[in-house]
Structures are given as structure tokens and as C-alpha cells.
């Protein structure tokens, strides 16, 4: 699907992000690996969603990449205090910018016990890295975007962060861990298709490992974050 974007696209160069965060702090929204591998120095982690985008595995160069266009995408937003905002911004540019562009869009917080629409919670402007069709790594042929083709690519793929299947299962378990009880339909459909491609029992074992890895990763990140915030 072509990108139909709400929010304000900004060239990743320079320090344009500061105009969106005049207090010097930074809010970052993660819809992929940032959910289970948070940025350093955060002092708040808030589950929720952004509007105007959809999660898709349509970046060819890296199977662990995701793209977003029209729809709603769930993930986690992180607040970075002003003391570390510039450092974390540069870290994220290095980690995320290959094949992505920077956008600024409202993030809608969600907490367990609140309504799914989270209308009682004020939106927060967040920085987010988005894959777009203008990116040369973007999968432009619609025929190759069919879910079964994408599942085959994930099953066979290896990226900088490891196996494509490992990334998919980590994403599935991370989304479930946000308090929603499930991942989004696109992710659960891909999980089902990839399991059918893999050897019997292999997918289930990778899922179990992914769930444990998500818990360990988040626990470690939280412990480090608490240490950062102790004065």
C-alpha cells in the first residue's frame, strides 16, 4: 500500500527534531524492535498507537524492517529527558535511519483498564521512523507483497539482527505484552503462515524463546533506565 501519512515529514539531517520538542526532551514511538529493545536513557515507556499508518514487512534489504502507511499501528512510546535527548536521537538515527525517513505524528497512549480508543488520554507528538515507497529498498511490485510471498521471505531471510523468523516472533510476543492480549492481524497472519512453512514444532519453539527473550530484554532495559534516573 502506498503511504498516506498524517504528521509532518522532516529531513533526517540536522537538528530539526528540536523544533518539535522545544523543552529539549524527546518522545520516540517504536512499532518494531524498539518495543523489546528500547532506546537508552528513557524514563517513561507508554503503550499506545499512532493513526494514519499500517505495519507491513515491505522492505527488501532487511527482513527485520517494517513499513507503515494508512491505518493504525500499536507500539510503545519512550520519553527521553533533555539531558540525554540529543545523544539518543543520534543513536536512533544510526540504528534506524537505513531505509527510513523521520516523521512526527500524534501518539495516543493506552493503559490497561482504559478504553481501547484511549480517548481520555491526551495525544503526544512523537518522532517515528517510517519506510516509504520512495526508499529504493521498498518492495514496489504488488504481486510480491502477497502475505504468502512475504512469509516465504521472512522464513528464508536473515538480517543484521538475526533470522527473519526470530524477528517476527519477537514482534508478536512484544505486541502481546503491551497489555492488548494479542498482536495485530497482519503479524498473527504472518506467524501462522511462517509456522506452516517451518518444520513441525520449530515455530512453537521459536515462539517460546522469543517470549523469554522479550521478557529478559525489557527487564534489563528497565533496570538500566532506573539506574539512569537515580540521582
As annotated, the active-site residues are 96
128 burial (CB, 10 Å; 0-12 / 13-18 / 19+) is buried
3-class state of residue 10 by DSSP: strand
Helix segments in the chain, DSSP class H:
85-96, 147-156, 164-175, 185-197, 202-228
CB 52 within 8 A of CB 29: no
* Residue 41, C-alpha cell as written in the block: 536513557
Nearest to 97 by CA among 137, 43, 145: 137
CB atoms within 10 A of CB 35: 25
What are the Cα distances from residue 45, in Å, to 75, 79, 176?
A: 10, 7, 15
Q: Largest alpha-carbon pair distance within the chain? A: 55
DSSP string, 164-205: HHHHHHHHHHHHIIIIISS--HHHHHHHHHHHHHSPTTHHHH
Amino acid at each position: 500500500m502506498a503511504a498516506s501519512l498524517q504528521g509532518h515529514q522532516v529531513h533526517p539531517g540536522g537538528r530539526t527534531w528540536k523544533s518539535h520538542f522545544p523543552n529539549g526532551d524527546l518522545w520516540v514511538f517504536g512499532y518494531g524492535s524498539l518495543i523489546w529493545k528500547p532506546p537508552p536513557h528513557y524514563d517513561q515507556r507508554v503503550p499506545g498507537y499512532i493513526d494514519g499508518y499500517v505495519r507491513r514487512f515491505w522492505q527488501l534489504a532487511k527482513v527485520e524492517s517494517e513499513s507503515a502507511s494508512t491505518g493504525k499501528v500499536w507500539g510503545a512510546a519512550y520519553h527521553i529527558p533533555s539531558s540525554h535527548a540529543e545523544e539518543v536521537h543520534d543513536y536512533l538515527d544510526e540504528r534506524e535511519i537505513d531505509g527510513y525517513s523521520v516523521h512526527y505524528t500524534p501518539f495516543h497512549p493506552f493503559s490497561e483498564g482504559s478504553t481501547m480508543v484511549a480517548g481520555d488520554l491526551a495525544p503526544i507528538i512523537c518522532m517515528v521512523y517510517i519506510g516509504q515507497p520512495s526508499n529504493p529498498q521498498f518492495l514496489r511490485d504488488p504481486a510480491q507483497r502477497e502475505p504468502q510471498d512475504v512469509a516465504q521471505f521472512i522464513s528464508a531471510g536473515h538480517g543484521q539482527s538475526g533470522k527473519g523468523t526470530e524477528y517476527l516472533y519477537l514482534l508478536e510476543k512484544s505486541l502481546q505484552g503491551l497489555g492488548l492480549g494479542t498482536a495485530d492481524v497482519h503479524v498473527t497472519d504472518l506467524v501462522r503462515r511462517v509456522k506452516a512453512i517451518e518444520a513441525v514444532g520449530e515455530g512453537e519453539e521459536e515462539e517460546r524463546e522469543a517470549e523469554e527473550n522479550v521478557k529478559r530484554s525489557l527487564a534489563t532495559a528497565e533496570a538500566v533506565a532506573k539506574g539512569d534516573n537515580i540521582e
